[in-house]
Chains A and B, each alone.
Chain A
Amino acid sequence: MRIALESDMAVHMMVQVPLLIGIGLLLASGVRPYEPRWLTDADWLGIPGIVAVVLGTSFWMLPRALDGAVADPLVDVAKFLSLPLLVGLPLGLCWRRMPPLGRAFIWANFIPKIGAIGGLYLAAPTRLCAYYRLDQQAAAGWTLIVVAVVLGTLWFIAAFVGWPAHGRRQFSPAAPSWPAQWTPPRP
């Protein structure tokens, strides 16, 4: 299993890591009814949660961390534990508490960041990881760029066309249509 998901850089980054985060999201939906009050209060606007997600994903995106996970089973275990519990779980719990602008901020940063890292992998003249070849690095770069474009397109659609959300059957845009609903500020 380890070999299947870690022998290729693109698969390691874009399949195994999201799967692990997904496990955390499932955990979150299971645990949510039992969430202690102090946590609901302390995770104000989802800020501590999203900070954990950003720092955790940044860590496991470092080439050194990927190398460590391939080289050392202990590091891999750390990854198998930290991605679901310290990234997926906080993400699942904090997302609903985040205001729309906060969520937009995260998307607006995450999507271009993914694309930029993909571009860096393509542009890098040498291998960034000791355990992956240059062609695997390029494939990972392209995969990241494609994912960024797809996510960006979906987000654009959600913002300006609409997306069926929880409890709503109709499409309704997340952004108010301008200028019909925009009213000038009172002097």
Chain B
Amino acid sequence: MMPRGFLPLLAIVAATGIVALDWETEGFRVVTSAGARQLSIERTPRLLPDVPLVDQDGHAFSLSSYKGRPVLVDFIYTRCPTLCGVLGDDFHGVLQLTGGAAAGAPLDLLSISFDPENDDREALQFYGDRYGARAPRWRIATPADDRGLAALKQSFGVIIIPDGLGGFIHNSAVYLLDAQGRLARILDPDSPPRLFAEALRVAAP
């Protein structure tokens, strides 16, 4: 015979635990913080701060100057041996798909270095040349000041940890900004056609 308090206690414990798990996994959909961020941005595009940047040709511009067209953004540092190369390849592919450096292209590309101390203009140009990047279609830029860098890291959700070998590990992703300049999608480094397709999907009203 079951004691009287058994079912109520079990119900309370099970309900509390399941609600907590449901909350933490966004309805049993994600287990990682990266997955949670992707889901959250997809539901609610996020407005971004207007951060001043300087590109590989030394031109100053700001994040808001991209309004009107979707932009694919990634975060790199030029000394990166691995993941930033994958991102560079992806962006190169998208650049080729969308008509190269010619005007009238449907989207722009922006690679932001989070290591402005080591990534001077020469380093940015070197990175850009390696992947065929040309301003203004594909800018390789650094934030103009530390405050801008912090604002970028915070609003994009970029988490950077030292890799123990003098470099950095970061949650490398491709960030898609819509035509209103809002962060609309966070994508895994993927094939250029898929990235391009996502950008078009977001651009279509």
Contact = CB atoms under 8 A, between A and B. Distances in A.
A64 B36 contact: yes
B124 to A, nearest CB: 26
Contacts of B33: 63-64, 67-68, 71, 129-130
Contact of B169 (A43, A54, A71, A133): A133
B68 interface: no
Interface stretch (A44-52, A143-151, A165-173, A177-185): A44-52
A42 B4 CA distance: 7
Interface stretch (B18-26, B47-55, B113-121, B132-140): B18-26
Interface in A118-134: 127-134
B6 A59 contact: no
Contacts of B8: 42
B3 interface: yes
B2 interface: yes
Interface string A88-123: 000000000000000000000000000000000000
A133 B164 contact: yes
A43 B169 CA distance: 47
Interface string B53-84: 00000000000000000000000000000000
Contacts of A58: 17, 21
B21 A59 contact: yes
A41 B17 contact: no
Contacts of B24: 59, 62, 64-65
B31 interface: yes
A69 to B, nearest CB: 11
Given A51-B13, A55-B18, A128-B32, A133 B171 contact: no
A48 B10 contact: yes
Contact of A130 (B6, B9, B25, B34): B34
Contacts of B3: 41-42, 44
Contact of A59 (B5, B20, B34): B20
Given A58-B21, A127-B171, A133-B163, A51 B10 contact: yes
A132 B171 CA distance: 10
Contacts of A63: 31-33
A128 B10 contact: no
Nearest to A64: B33
B5 A62 contact: no
Contacts of A34: none
29 contacts: A38-B5, A41-B4, A41-B5, A42-B3, A42-B5, A42-B8, A42-B9, A43-B6, A43-B9, A44-B3, A44-B6, A47-B6, A48-B9, A49-B13, A51-B10, A55-B14, A55-B18, A56-B17, A62-B24, A63-B31, A64-B33, A67-B32, A127-B171, A129-B32, A130-B34, A130-B159, A130-B171, A133-B163, A133-B169
Interface of B: 2-6, 8-10, 13-14, 16-18, 20-21, 24-25, 30-36, 159, 161, 163-164, 169, 171
The 4 A-B residue pairs with the shortest CB-CB distance, nearest first, are: A55-B17, A42-B5, A67-B33, A42-B9
